[in-house]
Chain A
Amino acid sequence: AQSVAQPEDQVNVAEGNPLTVKCTYSVSGNPYLFWYVQYPNRGLQFLLKYITGDNLVKGSYGFEAEFNKSQTSFHLKKPSALVSDSALYFCAVSLRTGNEKLTFGTGTRLTIIP
């Protein structure tokens, strides 16, 4: 069975500083990896995904994530944080067996301090 760990419940970053939200996974074989963002009282919005190829994936709103197979990690990054980036971020994994369901981490609340 697959699992996703987001070791930090809360991350605080000053506006303009780089941010990192950590994610590690455990799965048999090679997974698909995803990041979603959830704003208050809203659904999940897709940010980016890793399927194959370049380990650095670029996504929406200036976010990017780096797939590291040896460390089984998929950390989310942004070079310069905005106050509007404050939200709940979820890492997720699915298997390469077709239209498999997503397994989510427990989420990391990102707060950008003006």
Chain B
Amino acid sequence: GEEVAQTPKHLVRGEGQKAKLYCAPIKGHSYVFWYQQVLKNEFKFLISFQNENVFDETGMPKERFSAKCLPNSPCSLEIQATKLEDSAVYFCASSQYYSGNTIYFGEGSWLTVV
């Protein structure tokens, strides 16, 4: 597709429940990124993939967060045992690999943990 597609747009989970978000990158893009936007608009990098391989996971809270990008499937970000502080908008983005790439963002998935 011509845009990064994220589902669901909104998700409400009770504390302790699992949340799973999906992302279809732009066709032909090799890199996928996940960002978390919290209060005060701060963007926090979580993880990036080069095709199905983890490229950079320095931002991932490894205890409860996991992510995958499998061939011929949407990428996913999963949060086990959600906490109130996980409430945020989660953005997926994708880019081609070239020097000075532009990273294109999806519309985001709004997770509310109650």
Contact = CB atoms under 8 A, between A and B. Distances in A.
Contact of A99 (B4, B50, B108): B50
A52 B99 CA distance: 11
Interface residues of B, number: 28
B31 interface: yes
A43 B108 contact: yes
A99 B91 contact: no
Contacts of A34: 102-103
B40 A106 contact: yes
Contacts, number: 57
A49 B102 contact: yes
Interface string B29-55: 011010000001111010010100001
Contacts of A52: 100
Q: Which of A99, A102, A103 has the most CB of B within 10 A?
A: A99
A20 to B, nearest CB: 19
A74 interface: no
Interface of B: 4, 30-31, 33, 40-43, 45, 48, 50, 55-56, 59, 91, 93, 95, 97, 99-108
